[in-house]
Amino acid sequence: MTPFSAPWPHVSIASVIDILLVALVIYEFLALIKGTRASLMLIGVAAVALTFYFARLGELYTLSWVISTLLPYAVFALIVVFAPEIRQALARLGRRITLSRSASSEADAYDDIVLAANLFSQNQTGALMIIEREIGLRTYIESGVPLDAHLSYDLLATIFRPSAPLHDGAVIIQGDRVAAAACFLPLSMNPVLSTQLGTRHRAGIGVTEETDAIAVIVSEETGAISLAVSGKIERDLSVEQLRERMGALLRRYVPPSTLPTPISTAEDASDTEGARTLSPRSADSRFDSGADD
């Protein structure tokens, strides 16, 4: 009897489902930790597991005893170390089960964010805008100044003026409301990130590692627009690219609006009789050179 004519082992439907579920769990786990600091930790865990295996294989009883004694405590240590990844995985699972679509209200007002990002880019204004999606950001909202104001282009431009007391920190947006300003965010500790990224960019990436929020970041040094999602950052986006990416993330398309044109206020200011209060849409703003990007 040839190997090809030998009877196949009995494989039940339950066994196939079991194998597919295990493969799905492994795939989702690897996709979740890809590009994060957890991937480097996983290599360390694999090294410890291989050490334990070769210790048992080579009859290194003392080393094997030490590892087997510490192994139960290592399980709890891994839970603490991988807490953000576990929380993100459970949140993703919950979104798939509930199939909620709470992003529609956010999409209705996101064009104001795009217009504001365009203004900040033209004026080289440092800005950090966080858009809440399905995972709440109450912890970070409480760290800032509560506003609960209607989201608008003018409000964002006013908040991030260098003379405004709330321009430092992040603005958190819930739907069509600005929940808070001057908020503190966790900094990303991902070693893979470029050393050119400053505090503002690392804060934007950090909050997207912990939640499913979207971070829109404008560099004060270069005026470059960046978008951070799920711990990954897309840099040097144009205004139209930012609009398309946000439309895709928020599952809604908004027709392009006419972008405001920068106004040279040097000559216009002399023609204005006694005008001292400048519009947030003007391009005469000056921003602190010492702020971190």
Q: Determine the average pLDDT of the residues in 64-90.
A: 76
* Cβ pair 154, 276 in contact under 8 A: no
- Say what percent of the chain tops pLDDT 70: 72
Residues 216-240 pLDDT 10s: 999 988 999 999 998 899 999 998 9
pLDDT attached to residue 109:
64
**Residue 255 clears pLDDT 80, i.e. is over it:** no
For the question of whether the overall pTM of this predicted structure is more than 0.75, the answer is no
Give the separation between CA 141 and CA 183, rounded to whole angstroms. 6
Residues 88-97 pLDDT 10s: 667 666 666 6
* Cβ pair 93, 253 in contact under 8 A: no
Q: What are phi and psi of 215, to 5 degrees?
A: -115, 125
**Residue 30 clears pLDDT 60, i.e. is over it:** yes
Residues 154-212 pLDDT 10s: 999 999 998 888 888 899 998 888 999 999 999 988 888 888 888 999 999 999 998 88
Supply 180's token pair. Answer: 């808070």
